[in-house]
Structure 1
Amino acid sequence: MFINLKTQTSKQKTLYNLLLIFGLAALLCVEGYAGWRLHELSKQQEEIKTDYSNVNNITLGLFSVDQWKDDIKGIINHQVRHFEMTKQQRKDLQKEVEQIIMALINKAEGILNRPPKSLGGKLKKFAIKTFVNTDDIKAQVPAFAKKIISQADNPNNKKQLSKLALGKVAVLEQSAYVDSTLSVKDSIMNVAFKKYHVKSQDILNKKLNTSLSEIRTRMYNYSFVMLGCVIFVLLLWWLLRKRTELHVALFIMSLLFAFILLGVGLTASMLEVDARIGSLDFVLLGEHVTFKDQVLFFQSKSILDVVEVLVKQPKPDSIAVGILILVFSILFPVMKLSSTGIHLLSKKKIAENRFIKYFAFQSGKWSMADVIVIAILMVFIGLNGLLQSQLAMLDIQSEPLTIITTNNTALQPGYIIFISFVVYGLILSTILKFITPHDAH
């Protein structure tokens, strides 16, 4: 009877452990899927924002001669073709034209009144004085001036003037400067238009902004799903704190949740630096010239991206920093999690191994994961404040010139996940000291 009861109790424990494992495995799949989607969306967001910053880079907009050429051509064409004079302007202009014509007539009359030096000159002077009456010509000056103004205001003539002015601009730009950014801009635009199936930069910007907004919402939703899974595991620890027979299985499954947090925290973007001129508007030849979303700088990096960049640098000090981050912020947490699992599952001889025991209980003080969290936060605060102050100096609000700057620098969901891993790892370390079947000291 006693043996049967003991066997039945052992079977119940096994059944409870299996149910716990299968239940947490299903939840682990949910966290894994959410983490994978968060990782993919983070890469997609970085790619779209990189394309956006390339297309809207200030060197291809505000600093591009080709862009200015198009704007100036449009202004000249509009100013000449759509120029309309008021009655007062016509009156004032007619007076100016009359004065110019009168000055020409008086100058011609003065030349004729000079004493001729040759016989031919005397004959010309006699003929002009005989057949030309300068008083009659002067009397017709107002009519001439009016005719000239009406011809200048003729739509066909304004069209010809516009072509002439634009032709002069084209000759000037070809002889004065060759825009080196033109070929680069055409290449970037063509690739972006083909990639996103659009035909203009405005449509492209709207499409990218819409996509980024949707991606941002989905990223945070998946982040909350991952956090919800981890919180559920910790709540399960509280509910099963007295069921010691389930602690080993629960801890091993908890480690798997931690590995997923770490993987996503290391690969997803943590910090995004985005500084741009949101809007620049000024008046040129009576018309507004506007440049929008001129990107000054953009970078988005995960911890692994930072390590990769540092290690690939030619300077030894950069390589050393990259290796330190790799060892103490990535390898140490991985070794610690692995060692805790080995310590619980293995026999006492393996569990008491110095290497295993050290990484399971003592390596926390060497891990810089928590330091990285604080460092990134401090970098964000400092960099954000610096960009805000520097961009604020560019803000100008006046009638001829308006500049509005935008600082989109922000911490990304990857940072939230990495913080969650650090906190979750500390909690698991505390739990391990209470449930370990071996001496933890």
Structure 2
Amino acid sequence: MILILVLSILLCGEAYFGYKLDILSAQQEQIKEDYSMSNNITFGLFSMDQWRDRISEVVHGQIHDFSLTPAQRKVMQVQVEKQLHGLISKTVAQIKKPQKSLGGKLKKFAFNTMVDDKDIHAQVPSFAKTIVDKINSPASKRRLKSIATTKIDQLEKLTYDSTSIANYAVTKYLYTKYKVADPVAFNKRINADLAAIRKVTYNYAYAMLGCVALALVFWLAMRKQVHLHTTLFVMSLLFAVILLFVGVTASVIEVDARILSFNFGLLGQKVAFENQILFFQSKSLLGIIEVLLSQAKPDAIAVGILLLLFVIILPLLRMIARGIHILSPEKLSENKVVKYLAFEAGKWDMADVMVVGIVMTYIGLNGILKSQLSNLNIKNDFVNTTTVNNTSLQPGYLIFVGYVVFAFILSYILKRITAYEVSEPGRQIRG
């Protein structure tokens, strides 16, 4: 009774930790999907609206802060003087050229008599200074800023794309959901939630595996107590079922590729895009199977069915068959189907193959993403781009690996206790 009580406590603990891990895994997946939606590159770096807003902000700032420095005033005065000298020279040349009409000749005579073009040229600096002072007066600057701002606003109204409505709807929904008012608060809230969930989910995963490890310790301690083998084995099967359930429903792999920062200089100001999500997916084994089965392609559906049969259903049937074999009377326990599932169907059980497949997928995706993202890293005087690959295995994978290892150990134990029963027919290990 004490053994059953202790194992029951461990089993309940494993079930509780597995339940919490499964809930938090789904919650983490949803939060990251919300985050990736809000920071998707479609609504950021690829959005004309975002480019328009950022560039117009820089231009408006330049217009608002417009003021000529002393050096700029000197340059402007030189340019104005140059233009005035050119205008005077052109006008004088026009008047002094040979005239055919009487009126033209009189104008030329009067000009030559009363006007000295050198005196006019000598007054150009004072004229230029007056013009520059007028341009730099508060009233003139206000008029110039108003004209420039109006033109920029008109250009803004003509610059837009189709993402603005969708972006507004998504932003409003997510900000309401997470009770925030701006992107900074949203990202801060999401990062804090994810950090807390990540730590707790791994703790729950380790706690689950710890409960299973303690159950194995009981096996080791009680291995010579033949009359307890049935109880220990049946309880162990329940431990394995929980591991399998959590292993296939919790997230096993997460693919996250993003542009961490993209910035460049414009009119002396920094234009930046942060956390632009290029691609994000987080899936459990069951989620992967559901995606495959929902495809229109027959080959994808076939793969989904095979995974469902040989990674989930067959392992579950094998554990049921082992329970029947160890608990039932000899007639039922020696049934060909039961014995085949309990002892010989392991060659069709693809759970261990799936463990290797997930690792290979992770290694392959990680390598491809690192290679591709490295091509986007640009650092020069004009543009600075930093990418990051956050692809990772998730706690669900640890649990699934734990199930595979534990199932292998149970197969070994079943063969040992069955062999012991055959060699010691007088021993009763059932019931």
Q: Given the two structures, how large is their TM-score scaled by the length of structure 1? A: 0.89
1:39-438 equivalences under 5 Å are: 39-113=22-96, 137-154=120-137, 157-175=140-158, 177-436=159-418
Report how far residue 277 of structure 1 moved: 0.7
Contact 1:32 1:260 in 2 (8 A): yes
User: Within 5 Å, which residues of 2 pair with 1:22-41?
Assistant: 22-41=5-24
Kept in 2, the 8 Å contact 1:73–1:166? The answer is no
Q: Which residue of 1 aligns with 2:2?
A: 19
Letter in 2 for 1:357: K
Judge conservation of contact 1:342–1:351 (CA < 8 Å) in 2: yes
Cα 1:91/1:423, change in 2 over 3 Å: same
Distance 2:184 2:313 in 1: 46
Percent of aligned positions that are identical: 50
Q: Is the Cα contact below 8 Å between 1:265 and 1:415 reproduced in 2?
A: yes
Letter in 2 for 1:146: K
CA–CA distance in 2 between the matches of 1:140 and 1:171? 41
Q: Deviation at 1:117?
A: 6.7
**What is the rounded CA distance, in whole Å, between the counterparts of 1:130 and 1:55 in structure 2?**
79
Task: Give, in whole Å, the separation in 1 of the partners of 2:142 and 2:29.
Answer: 48
1:4 maps to none
Q: Which amino acid aligns with 1:147?
A: T
Partner Cα distance (2:201, 2:195) in 1: 10
TM-align CA RMSD = 2.3
Deviates more, 1:390-399 or 1:303-312: 390-399
Distance 1:333 1:165 in 2: 72
Letter in 1 for 2:18: G
SS of the residue 1:245 aligns to: helix
Partner-residue secondary structure (3-state), 1:198: coil
What is the one-letter code of the residue matched to 2:62? Q
Q: Distance in 2 between matches of 1:160 and 1:194?
A: 42
3-state SS of paired residue (1:69): helix
Most deviating of 43-52 and 72-81:
72-81
- What is the CA–CA distance in structure 2 between the aligned matches of 1:289 and 1:199, rounded to whole Å? 22
Please state how far the C-alpha of 1:427 moved relative to its aligned partner: 0.3
Q: Secondary structure at the match of 1:40?
A: helix
TM-score computed with the length of structure 2 as normaliser = 0.91
Once residues 196 and 153 of structure 1 are traced to their aligned partners in structure 2, the CA distance between those partners, rounded to angstroms, is 50
Seen in structure 2, the aligned counterparts of structure 1 residues 199 and 159 have a Cα distance that, compared at 3 Å, is farther
CA contact (8 A) 2:36 2:280 kept: yes
Q: Tell me, which stretches of 5 or more residues in structure 2 are unaligned? A: 424-431
**Structure 1 unaligned runs (5+)?**
1-17
Cα gap change, 1:127/1:414 in structure 2, threshold over 3 Å: closer, same or farther?
farther
User: What's the offset of the Cα at 1:32?
Assistant: 1.0
Q: SS where residue 270 of structure 1 aligns?
A: strand
